[in-house]
Amino acid sequence: MKRKDTGRLAALLNTVSLPVIATILGLLLGALIMFLSGHDPLKVYSVMFDKSFINVNYLNQTLTKATPVIMCGISGAVAWRAGHINLGIEGQMVCGGITAIIIGLYMPGPAFLVTLCACIGACAAGALYALIPTFLQDKSHVSLIMVTLMMNYIANYLSTYLVSFPLKDTSSVNANQTMFIDDSLKFTRLFSNGQLSTGFILSIMTVIAVYLVMNYTSFGYESKMSGFNPYFAKYGGVRERRVMYLTMALSGAVAGFAGFVEVFGTKYRYSSNMIASSGYAWTGLMASLVGQYNPFAILFYSIFFSGLTIGGQALQRDFGIPLQIADIITSSIMLFVSINIGIHLFKAGRKQRTEKKEETGNKTPAKEAA
Amino acid sequence: MPLVELKDITKVYGTLIANDKVSLELNKGEILAVVGENGAGKSTLMKIMYGLEQPTAGEIYVNGEKQKFHDPLDAIGKGIGMVQQHFMLIEQFTVAENIVYSKEPRKGMFFDRAAAIRITEELCEKYGLYIDPREKVKNCPVGLQQRIEILKVLYQEAEILIFDEPSAVLTPQETNQLLDTLRTLAGMGKSIILITHKLNEVFAVADRVVVMRHGQVVGNMPIKETNFDELSFLMVGRQLTSTVIPQVEKGEVCLEVNDLHVTGAGSKEAVDGLSMHVDRGEIVGIAGVSGNGQSELIRAITGLLPVESGNVRINGIEVTNRPPRDIRDSGLSCIPEDRYLWGCAREATLEETCIMYLHNKEPLSTGGWLHKNKIHSFVSDTLEHFDVRYTSVFQKMGELSGGNAQKVVLAREVMQHSPFLIAAEPTRGLDIGAIEYVHHALLEKKKSGDCVLLVSSELSEVMSLSDRIYVMYDGKIAGEFTRENAVEESLGLLMMGGKLNEA
Ligand SMILES: Nc1ncnc2c1ncn2[C@@H]1O[C@H](COP(=O)(O)OP(=O)(O)OP(=O)(O)O)[C@@H](O)[C@H]1O
Ligand SMILES: [Mg+2]
């Protein structure tokens, strides 16, 4: 019975091995489909990876696309880890984006001050928008999953209305979009060609910041324990409602921040449907699930999934292979991972259900603790 | 030829060898007791035999034939059944439905309820285990639920029955009934493996006993050729010392409960006008058959259950219906009776489990930031202090043996050095060495001027440690004794709802 601390490494290996296996299986399934549709998988994959991760120009595109995805993934992980399923990241991001564009267009003052206000405003908007369903769940036990999901539509339609009427750039006749923000507000581009901006660096900083909060603060600890076993947390003196509000606010704020970065760093204006149609939030949630709430794994998978899409677009141009192939690969990876996770959750759930009865006999304290 | 033979079974978890070339034989009609300290590898060995875990090396023979069990269904197919400590029953269903579940009698396409009831009645008759087939499981007390589990295993035609610490959740009466059942079953030719930490049970029913330590078998003998002292020595590797009760001056009142009313499950008055007090320098025991409001009382004191009326004061501070954290801040720590429900999270690491409540206090954190180094050394010290068997502080709680998980929860609460400690079933699932250690720790606490409220279904534990004893029956205090005037018979009588006639 030696007390070596190989434990952390072993635990890491455990979390890493499962998505890696799933990724390989996904790639194999993708290869099979390509093979069946008459393409040489090796050639297709080499082009696909070249035109997403290796070639500098494509890598630039990949990272640009990954920037909001990373933050959405982090936003999802913050909530999920604490046992709250936030499917409203998209709506929270929309709120952040709209707030950012309004401040960016209409607030007078020096550029840095406007940027700062837009940033804070976007985070606050995202957080508030996430707190509404949290409040409903807390007060009247409405399902958080359902409400967050539904509120995506509200945010998106509301933003469409705003950019179609009050905020519409009247000089563009066809498109419903706002004007561009001032040049002085736009984020610096990292390279002379390509859209990649300092926004990417901000997303990396978000990863690090959230990692620190989650692992090195007592709030992160309380949030994690509430996710593992709310009864344990409550018994140990965690104020579970306070932790729930804070967690959801943080999750929403990160999503709002993603909206701000998207507007100030990449698009410079808000056009109707721009966030919903990109699917950032859902790709981010995927990365979050596959990365099992580890911020660095989420960073990696966000870039990987974004690269697959960019590479997929290249395939379409070079081979005439439909874009859906890339989607199939991403989805197969997801499928394999979710099978694994599903089995895991099922087992854990079954265990917990039976063990809850242990020693308490048939008295379930669920009601009292709620 | 033995009925079951395990040959050189080895099970390795990462760097830890849970079973190290274990060989074991089970004969027909025999009751074999397996004993050993916490973490010795008993549960692991049984899980392998029942197909829940695959051995790293080694072979299993049933009736001389080599077997490979991929899952419990394979084991059940060979007549091996296990009565889970954590019952796997569906509470909304009736007894009969649960027993025939997964092998239901049918009439055409449909479930044949009448046949299920008949089958259950026949089983009850055959094995002398009586129970109403039509009763819903959720209305059955723990002892009866265990009986349903046994019947279920028998219905699956098990010839070999494995019991992993079956008496841990039972009252003394239920335990006696269980032991009778085991004798009956063995008499009918069934073979039984019984894991237990209670040596009196071993001597009451077993034919042979196997002692495990550090993953190996260190003793295997017929029960007639051994005795209590030899077994306990083999189990813990040292002589047990007798506990000395320190004499301590009583201090001021620490816990005061006045006319407390608490509603339990099913809107029935679980605690019904209860008043009590615990003074500094005292260990106060609560004796009672479980289910008489003890759990609700503890939960109400610790803030996990709302108080209807009455009040609770700790160290002079009014804590009635305060949030758990505030109550703890007033000087309380608590070892909960259900370690996996309240005491920890299976997915949490040992480190995370040990710092609960202390995580936002000096010296483990300042201004919301955790001090990882200090946490690390604090946790290692805590675990070392209570001799927890673990491989790394980053291990998950769910990977610890039952007894070791209990020790972690216990260590955390005792190491908080709060003036007032509630200890609910503190020694449940612990080996005799660890029990001695825990008793010692509780007495130390008393010596340092703190006080302890001890709730235990183990009457001997309550009687040997407590300075004062309350007997609880039906949500009320049925009687109060001091160490000097506590007599087992009177306690037992009050616990069953009887009255003492003052003569
Ligand atoms: N899934 C697992 N992963 C890692 N280690 C494990 C796992 N299951 C058990 N162990 C380790 O194997 C050892 C033996 O555990 P086991 O549960 O068999 O002990 P036990 O004899 O039943 O103890 P107790 O009397 O406390 O129930 C322990 O040190 C435990 O930590
Ligand atoms: Mg065990």
pLDDT, tens only, A30-60 = 888 888 878 888 888 888 889 889 999 999 9
**Contact B13 CB / ligand 1 (< 6 Å):** yes
Confirm or reject contact between A370 and chain B (CB < 8 A).
no
Residues of B (175-194) whose Cβ lies below 8 Å from A: none
Q: A15 vs A291, A337, B30, B362, B419, CA distance in Å?
A: 8, 11, 45, 32, 41
Domain identity same for B170 and B308 = no
Confirm or reject contact between B362 and chain A (CB < 8 A).
no
Q: Is residue A284 part of a domain?
A: yes
Q: B86 vs A157, A345, A353, B174, B343, CA distance in Å?
A: 51, 19, 10, 17, 16
Using the predicted structure, report yes or no on whether residue A341 has a pLDDT greater than 80.
no
Residues of B whose CB is below 8 A from A349: none
Shortest Cα distance from B320 to chain A (angstroms)? 15
How much is the average pLDDT of A103-132? 95
Domain identity same for B198 and B88 = yes
Q: Are A287 and A73 spatial neighbours (Cβ–Cβ below 8 Å)?
A: yes
Domain identity same for B361 and B314 = no
Q: Is residue A365 part of a domain?
A: no
Residue burial A212-251, b: 16+ Cβ < 10 Å; e: rest: ebbebbbbbbbbbbbbbbbbbbbbbbbbbeebbbbbbbbb
Question: Which among B88, B305, B348 has the least Cβ separation from residue A368?
Answer: B305
Per-residue confidence (pLDDT) for residue A4, from 0 to 100: 39
Task: Please state the pTM of the whole predicted model.
Answer: 0.86
Per-residue confidence (pLDDT) for residue A363, from 0 to 100: 35
Domain identity same for B307 and B371 = no
* Closest C-alpha residue for ligand 1 atom 19: B39
Give the CA dihedral A298, A302, A303, A306, nearest 10 degrees.
Answer: 170
Q: How many domains does chain B have?
A: 3
Q: What's the CATH code of the domain at A124? A: 1.10.3470
| Ligand with the closest atom to the CA of B406 | 1
DSSP per-residue string spanning B119-169? HHHHHHHHHT----TTSBGGGS-HHHHHHHHHHHHHHTT-SEEEEESGGGG
**Ramachandran area for residue B420 (φ above 0: left; ψ -120 to 50: alpha; else beta):** beta
* Closest C-alpha residue for ligand 1 atom 17: B401
Domain identity same for B228 and B258 = no
Per-residue confidence (pLDDT) for residue B102, from 0 to 100: 76
Sequence-distant (≥ 6) Cβ neighbours of residue B502 within 8 angstroms: none
The order of strands in the sheet holding B269-279 is B269-279, B253-263, B309-314, B317-318
| Ligand with the closest atom to the CA of B164 | 2
Per-residue confidence (pLDDT) for residue A10, from 0 to 100: 56
Domain identity same for B289 and B305 = yes
Look up residue B245 and give its DSSP letter.
Answer: P
Confirm or reject contact between B100 and chain A (CB < 8 A).
no
How much is the average pLDDT of B371-376? 93
Question: Which among A7, A221, A358 has the least Cβ separation from residue B85?
Answer: A358
Residue B315 has which token pair?
Answer: 């160290």
> Which atom of ligand 1 is found nearest the CA of B403?
26
**Contact B401 CB / ligand 1 (< 6 Å):** yes
Q: Is residue B204 part of a domain?
A: yes
How much is the average pLDDT of B5-27? 93
Contact B15 A368 (CB under 8 A): no
Confirm or reject contact between B361 and chain A (CB < 8 A).
no
Domain identity same for B222 and B123 = yes
Question: Tokens 């005792």 sit at which residue?
Answer: B414
Per-residue confidence (pLDDT) for residue B249, from 0 to 100: 82
User: Worst-scoring range by mean pLDDT, A290-299, A327-336, B33-42, B154-163?
Assistant: A327-336
Q: Is residue B295 part of a domain?
A: yes
> Alpha carbon A259 to chain centroid distance?
12
Per-residue confidence (pLDDT) for residue A11, from 0 to 100: 56
Per-residue pLDDT reduced to its tens digit, A199-227? 999 999 999 999 999 999 999 999 999 99
How many A from CA of B60 to the centre of ligand 2? 20
Per-residue confidence (pLDDT) for residue A1, from 0 to 100: 37
Q: Are strands B110-111 and B106-107 parallel, antiparallel or unpaired?
A: antiparallel
The order of strands in the sheet holding B31-36 is B80-83, B160-164, B191-195, B31-36, B208-213, B216-222
ipTM above 0.85, yes or no: yes
**Contact B382 CB / ligand 1 (< 6 Å):** no
Question: Which among A3, A238, A354 has the least Cβ separation from residue B392?
Answer: A3
- Long-range (24+ apart) CB contacts under 8 A made by A143-151 are A144/A84, A144/A85, A144/A86, A145/A85, A145/A87, A147/A88, A148/A85, A148/A86, A148/A87, A148/A88, A148/A91, A149/A87, A149/A88, A151/A88, A151/A91
Cα angle: B14, vertex B17, B20; to 5 degrees: 145
Residue B445 has which token pair?
Answer: 């606490």
Beta bridge partners of A177: A271
Residues of B whose CB is below 8 A from A348: 346-347
User: Worst-scoring range by mean pLDDT, A333-342, A346-355, B440-449?
Assistant: A346-355
Q: How many domains does chain A have?
A: 1
Q: Are B221 and B54 spatial neighbours (Cβ–Cβ below 8 Å)?
A: no
Per-residue confidence (pLDDT) for residue A338, from 0 to 100: 65
Percent of chain A topping pLDDT 90: 54
Query: Backbone phi, then psi, for B50, in 5-degree steps?
Result: -95, 5
Residue B182 has which token pair?
Answer: 């085991």
**How many Å apart are CA A191 and CA B67, to the nearest integer?**
65
Picking from B236, B264, B290, the residue at the C-terminal end of a domain is B236
Domain identity same for B385 and B321 = no
Q: Is residue A357 part of a domain?
A: no
Percent of chain A topping pLDDT 70: 85
Q: Is residue B117 part of a domain?
A: yes
Domain identity same for B262 and B397 = no
**Contact B39 CB / ligand 1 (< 6 Å):** yes
Using the predicted structure, report yes or no on whether residue A356 has a pLDDT greater than 60.
no
Question: Which among A5, A219, A236 has the least Cβ separation from residue B356?
Answer: A236
Contact B391 A1 (CB under 8 A): yes
Confirm or reject contact between B393 and chain A (CB < 8 A).
yes
Using the predicted structure, report yes or no on whether residue A370 has a pLDDT greater than 50.
no
Q: Is residue A328 part of a domain?
A: no
**Contact B198 CB / ligand 1 (< 6 Å):** no
Residues of A whose CB is below 8 A from B360: 218, 222
> Which atom of ligand 1 is found nearest the CA of B215?
14
Hey, how many other C-beta atoms are within 10 angstroms of the C-beta on B101? 15
Domain holding B370, by residue range, is: 341-417
Instruction: Let me know how many helices (H) and strands (E) chain A has, helices first.
Output: 15, 0
Per-residue pLDDT reduced to its tens digit, B391-433? 889 999 989 998 999 999 999 999 999 999 999 999 988 998 8
Q: Is residue B264 part of a domain?
A: yes
Contact B305 A360 (CB under 8 A): no
Per-residue confidence (pLDDT) for residue B319, from 0 to 100: 93
| Ligand with the closest atom to the CA of B404 | 1
Q: Is residue B245 part of a domain?
A: no
User: Worst-scoring range by mean pLDDT, A61-75, A297-311, A335-349?
Assistant: A335-349
Contact A10 B328 (CB under 8 A): no
Q: How confident is the model at residue A362 (pLDDT cuts 50, 70, 90)?
A: very low
Picking from B209, B236, B263, the residue at the C-terminal end of a domain is B236
Using the predicted structure, report yes or no on whether residue A352 has a pLDDT greater than 50.
no
**How many Å apart are CA A270 and CA A273, to the nearest integer?**
9
Using the predicted structure, report yes or no on whether residue B245 has a pLDDT greater than 90.
no
Per-residue pLDDT reduced to its tens digit, A235-249? 999 999 999 999 999
**Contact B17 CB / ligand 1 (< 6 Å):** no
Cα angle: B302, vertex B303, B305; to 5 degrees: 110
**Contact B38 CB / ligand 1 (< 6 Å):** yes
**How many Å apart are CA B286 and CA B469, to the nearest integer?**
6
Using the predicted structure, report yes or no on whether residue A345 has a pLDDT greater than 60.
no
Residue A145 has which token pair?
Answer: 């999953």
How much is the average pLDDT of B247-253? 85
From the list B127, B121, B125, B101, the residue with the least C-alpha distance to B190 is: B127
Q: Is residue B243 part of a domain?
A: no
Q: How confident is the model at residue B206 (pLDDT cuts 50, 70, 90)?
A: very high
User: Worst-scoring range by mean pLDDT, A139-153, A171-185, B11-25?
Assistant: A171-185
A159 or A330: whose pLDDT is higher?
A159
Q: Is residue A327 part of a domain?
A: no
Q: Are B50 and B75 spatial neighbours (Cβ–Cβ below 8 Å)?
A: yes
**How many Å apart are CA A293 and CA A158, to the nearest integer?**
31
Q: Is residue A14 part of a domain?
A: no
Picking from B374, B390, B417, the residue at the C-terminal end of a domain is B417
Q: Is residue A113 part of a domain?
A: yes
Per-residue confidence (pLDDT) for residue A131, from 0 to 100: 97
Q: How confident is the model at residue A351 (pLDDT cuts 50, 70, 90)?
A: very low
Q: Is residue B248 part of a domain?
A: no
**How many Å apart are CA A255 and CA A79, to the nearest integer?**
11
Domain identity same for B371 and B326 = no
Domain holding A199, by residue range, is: 43-322
Q: B485 vs B289, B481, B488, CA distance in Å?
A: 20, 6, 10
Domain identity same for B227 and B151 = yes
Q: Is residue B76 part of a domain?
A: yes
Q: Is residue A61 part of a domain?
A: yes
Q: B499 vs B69, B271, B496, CA distance in Å?
A: 55, 19, 9
User: Worst-scoring range by mean pLDDT, A86-90, A121-125, B245-249, B255-259?
Assistant: B245-249
Look up residue A356 and give its DSSP letter.
Answer: H
Mean pLDDT for chain B overall:
90
Q: What's the CATH code of the domain at B449? A: 3.40.50.300
Domain identity same for B316 and B198 = no
Beta strands in B215-314 (DSSP E): 216-222, 253-263, 269-279, 283-287, 309-314
Per-residue pLDDT reduced to its tens digit, B71-127? 888 999 999 999 877 777 888 888 888 888 878 888 877 888 888 888 888 888 888
Using the predicted structure, report yes or no on whether residue B303 has a pLDDT greater than 90.
yes
- Please classify residue B130 by burial: count the beta carbons closer than 10 Å to its beta carbon, then call 0-12 exposed, 13-18 middle and 19+ buried: exposed
Q: A303 vs A52, A63, A95, A200, A327, CA distance in Å?
A: 10, 6, 24, 11, 15
DSSP per-residue string spanning B466-480? -SEEEEEETTEEEEE
Question: Which among A10, A359, A367 has the least Cβ separation from residue B338?
Answer: A359
**Contact B339 CB / ligand 1 (< 6 Å):** no
Q: Which residue of chain B comes nearest to A212, CA vs CA?
A: B369
Per-residue confidence (pLDDT) for residue A23, from 0 to 100: 77
Using the predicted structure, report yes or no on whether residue A332 has a pLDDT greater than 60.
yes
Per-residue confidence (pLDDT) for residue A359, from 0 to 100: 35
Shortest Cα distance from A344 to chain B (angstroms)? 12
